[in-house]
Amino acid sequence: MPPDESTSIENAPAIDRFSSSRQTKPQSGNLLPGTNRDKLILFVLLLAVVASFFVYAPREKDFQFYAAEGNAFFDGRDIYLDTPWQSNTMPPFFSLVAVPLGLVNRVSPYLNHVLWIALNWASIVLVLDLIARLIYGKRLRWRPDESSLTITSSELLIPFLLTLPFILNNFELLQINMILYALALWGVYLQATGKDAAGGIAIAAAAAMKVMAIALLPYLLYRKRWRAAAWMAGATAFFSLSPAFFMGWGKFWKDVGLWSVSLNATMGSGNSLQSVYSMWDRIIGYGYIPFAVPGTFLLPFSGSHSARLAWELTGVVIALLGLLACRGTPKPDSRWAQIEWSLVFVAATILSPLTRKPYLVVLFLPYALLYAGWRSSDLDARARRILRNVMFVCFATSIPTLHDLIGKALAVRLEMGSIVTYGVLIMLGGLMWYRTLAPRNELG
């Protein structure tokens, strides 16, 4: 980081660090504290939190594999061969991190699930607090004032509700994606406030547990955030290699190969996957007309070279459009930078061949940014309408992930037609367009 940039960030008062991020002034503030409406919303949210423990704690789902991997690592067994076949799709570092999950599971699986659900809710609260800080320069608190927002504030409540289908997918499967997203978003917040070491390490921890967050490394390099990139690269390497200190290098490298095999075995074109690759393979590889065929949960890749080429070309087009939209070098804490982080999160997720619905909690910040733009006084009425439409079209395409709401047969048919993928691609386009409109705030 150039000295003048670092100095300007570190010496600024905390509330002023995001003055450039708060150029979007929402037209509607908090719901009035103490009103019946405010109390009702808070009561419903608290009821939902309590209910989630009763609904999801009895389930095992993917969490049983996390616990099995932690137990295998602790016992010195093979984390891929001695766990359910092809269930471990995480890098070896995750099995090390999962050791506490395995140990608690020996005492009480139900208690383990309760703690896991609580950790997911804590991650949601952290993301809401980060959004309040990043976009509005405020903090998340129970009682709003000039320097804070509450969960019942429309600025936070609306993005939470729009992301809810994917949040529920994580609760239903007891997955880790919400936790990793919170960790990565915390990391980019830290580096934006001049804490390059802490930010790089936080992002690295997320990347070492699930690879997608590694996409932030080339972004940091592209934006010449050298210190944050160096810390992230070094910490990622350390975390990724750390299991070898416990299992030995020979076994570690063997497990890296097994991880690759397990990872490849989970890819495919069934309705459980919503990646761009799966979308093209269904259309080109299998010749399916979107929405004309029923859902198939597991469907291996067709092996079509044309489908692979279409995926690669889509990635190139998205990258080129992103570069055109993101001209100018933003200040690390500006609205421009926040939109760019969102683009990286969303593009890396939807372009990965592994994309499943729970991964799309990465839409949390994009929804918050588009909502802020919609309610902004800095944009004209037409621009605000377009941002609103992008936001709600993306949300509408996520509804089929709630199988119990619209019926499983229709839901999986829509998923097989890649409806979720289309919605995310529309979001990507909306973010790029918003990047060209957002108030100019770049390094001079």
Residue 326 lies in a domain: yes
pLDDT at 74 over 80: yes
Residue 251 lies in a domain: no
Residue 275 lies in a domain: yes
Rounded to two decimals, the pTM is: 0.89
Residue 246 lies in a domain: no
Per-residue buried b or exposed e for 263-274, using 16+ beta carbons within 10 Å of the residue's own CB: beeebbbbbbbb
In terms of pLDDT, which residue wins out, 16 or 363?
Answer: 363
How many domains does the structure of the chain reveal? 1
* pLDDT, mean of residues 377-394: 94
Write out pLDDT tens, residues 161-189: 999 999 999 999 999 999 999 999 999 99
* Whole-number pLDDT of residue 24: 45
What range defines the domain where residue 406 resides?
Answer: 267-444
Q: From the CA atom positions of the chain, what is the Rg in Å?
A: 22
* Whole-number pLDDT of residue 60: 87
* Whole-number pLDDT of residue 413: 94
Write out pLDDT tens, residues 21-53: 444 444 444 444 457 778 888 899 999 999 999
H-helix or E-strand containing 106? helix 99-107
Residue 195 lies in a domain: no
Residue 358 lies in a domain: yes
Residue 122 lies in a domain: no
pLDDT at 3 over 50: no
User: Residue 13 — very low, low, confident or very high, per pLDDT cuts 50/70/90?
Assistant: very low
- The one-character DSSP state at 281 is I
Residue 89 lies in a domain: no
* Whole-number pLDDT of residue 29: 46
